[in-house]
Amino acid sequence: MIPELTFGAQDVRILHDEKVFSGHFSVRRLTLQHRCFGGGWSRPLVRELFERGDAVGVLPYDPVTDRVVLIEQFRPGAIRNDDSPWMLELVAGVVEAGEDDAQVAHREAMEEAGCELAELRPIATVLPSAGACSEQVRLFCGRVSHAGAGGIHGLADEGEDILVHSVPRQEALALLARDRVPNGHTLIALQWLQIHGAALRESWS
């Protein structure tokens, strides 16, 4: 039996909310209390919260060729010792004011990978690091209706330098077994495709 969550939004008190940094991203400092499992309320806690906006990620999949599109790009947060800070990822972008998730998915698929998508299938909604970041990411699989032949994509004015890979589905899934997918969003999307890929291909073909 799946347990119900014990508490909800009404079980948090925001005592003070201050923006302490504003740049490409922003940081808020919250003073808060929350209900405790043993009863009563926590002492006032001070927590910094990283604000980067919500995002949409989409894994482009072509059921005709049975291939997925993955992009490769530099990520400063992945600079760790001798590990490569370039990562294989799904397509993703921040939700701008007035946009819905489908608009973001279609826009980013074209900007980052040169792909046109005909249909979106929801995968999951995730909070990548809820202990420190407010970002929510909505993940989709997108049926490719047209795709360019790889190449380099991205918006120069946003500093994007993106290499596009078209990978057979089974080869993409083999990356999971070799621990070659350190990006959480991509890991979730490929695991979903591992479960649903055969049925999805039949449905979309």
Kindly give the confidence (pLDDT) of every residue in the chain, 205 residues in length, as a single tens digit, with 9 standing for 90 and above. Answer: 778 999 999 999 999 999 999 998 999 999 999 999 999 999 999 999 999 999 999 999 999 999 999 999 999 989 999 889 999 999 999 999 899 999 999 999 999 999 999 999 999 999 999 999 999 999 999 999 987 657 887 777 777 789 999 999 999 999 999 999 999 999 999 999 999 999 999 999 8
Token couple for 169: 């589905």
Residue 158 is predicted with a pLDDT of: 74
C-alpha to C-alpha distance for 19 and 143, rounded to whole angstroms: 40
Residue 160 lies in a domain: yes
Q: Which alpha helices (DSSP H) does the chain contain, by range?
A: 101-113, 169-177, 184-204
Residue 3 lies in a domain: no
Residue 168 lies in a domain: yes
3-state secondary structure of 59: strand
pTM value > 0.85: yes
The answer to whether residue 135 is catalytic is no
| Residues 181 and 99 both lie in one domain | yes
| Residues 106 and 175 both lie in one domain | yes
| Residues 98 and 178 both lie in one domain | yes
Q: Which of 135, 158, 160, 202 is catalytic?
A: 158
Encode pLDDT of 162-171 as tens digits.
999 999 999 9
Compute the Cα dihedral for 33, 34, 36, 39 and give only its sign. Answer: positive
| Residues 82 and 164 both lie in one domain | yes
Token couple for 4: 């119900």
Residue 15 lies in a domain: yes
| Residues 164 and 69 both lie in one domain | yes
| Residues 65 and 46 both lie in one domain | no
| Residues 103 and 175 both lie in one domain | yes
Provide the 10 A C-beta neighbour count for residue 188.
20
Of the three residues 51, 66, 82, the one that is the final residue of a domain is 51
C-alpha to C-alpha distance for 159 and 114, rounded to whole angstroms: 17
| Residues 47 and 61 both lie in one domain | no
| Residues 170 and 184 both lie in one domain | yes
Q: Which residues lie across from 116 on neighbouring strands? A: 146
3-state secondary structure of 85: coil
Contact assessment for residue 141 and residue 120, using Cβ atoms and an 8 Å cutoff: yes
Q: What is the DSSP letter of 24?
A: S
Contacts of 88 (CB under 8 A, 6+ apart): 70, 71, 72, 165, 175, 180, 181, 183, 186
> What percent of the chain clears pLDDT 70, i.e. is strictly above it?
99
Residue 149 is predicted with a pLDDT of: 58
Q: How many folded domains does the chain comprise?
A: 2
Q: What is the CATH number of the domain that holds 134?
A: 3.90.79.10
| Residues 146 and 185 both lie in one domain | yes
Residue 19 lies in a domain: yes
Encode pLDDT of 131-143 as tens digits.
999 999 999 999 9
The whole domain housing 38 covers: 9-51
| Residues 43 and 118 both lie in one domain | no
Token couple for 130: 């809820």
3-state secondary structure of 197: helix
Residue 132's closest CA among 52, 37, 36, 187? 52
Residue 185 lies in a domain: yes
Residue 2 lies in a domain: no
Residue 59 is predicted with a pLDDT of: 98
Amino acid at the residue 49: L
φ/ψ (deg, to 5) at 36: -110, 150
φ/ψ (deg, to 5) at 110: -75, -45
| Residues 36 and 77 both lie in one domain | no
Residue 2 is predicted with a pLDDT of: 76
Residue 1 lies in a domain: no
